[in-house]
Amino acid sequence: MNTSITIRKATSEDVALILGFIQQLADYEKLSHEVVATEADLRNTLFGDNPVAHVVIAEADGEPAGFALYFYNFSTFLGKPGLYLEDLFVNPKYRGLKIGKSLLIHLAKTALEQGCGRFEWSVLDWNTPAIEFYRAMGASGMEGWTIQRVTGDALVELAAKAP
């Protein structure tokens, strides 16, 4: 029997579902201790007056199976926006049904429709299955680049420094 896969834009009614997917992704990535987001946070930042990111939900035969959360950035070198994929997760129950591939294709189409010059994301270096999947989809690693992050107390301290 064939499974029907659909991708739809998330709505504010999906906030609990989105948070659940985020928590499942964090569990998989061994980063559950870093999840402090609440439903209220997500409702405000994704569906409030000034949404800062977008979410699509993948459904398998009408059941939520995965999600992708993305936002737009900007490439000064290209002079164009880019689409940055923050999170991609498929429930293990639904893996092998090409849901991850469907989500990436959907986002690639979205990037082109929005005039983006690139579509990028980060992946943990130990996540070999994901890296292999991304390579099979045409992605390439950005050798020589590392992610830098300032968060929590360090962010507060940096903002308080005098120039």
Query: What pLDDT tens digit does each residue of the chain (163 aa) get?
Result: 689 999 999 999 999 999 999 999 999 999 999 999 999 999 999 999 999 999 999 999 999 999 999 999 999 999 999 999 999 999 999 999 999 999 999 999 999 999 999 999 999 999 999 999 999 999 999 999 989 999 999 999 999 998 8
Neighbours of 80 (CB within 10 A): 14
Give the chain's domains with CATH numbers.
Answer: 5-160 (3.40.630.30)
Structure tokens at 45: 């930042």
Which of 70, 84, 94, 134 is flagged as catalytic?
134
3-state secondary structure of 20: helix
Catalytic residue at 134?
A: yes
Largest Cα–Cα separation, the chain = 64
Comparing C-alpha atoms, which of 65, 57, 68 is closest to residue 14? Answer: 57
Burial class (CB in 10 A: 0-12, 13-18, 19+), 96: exposed
Provide the token pair at 109.
């189409």
**Which residues does residue 134 pair with via DSSP β-bridges, in sequence order?**
none
Q: What is the DSSP string of 82-100?
A: EEEEEEEEE-GGGTTSSHH
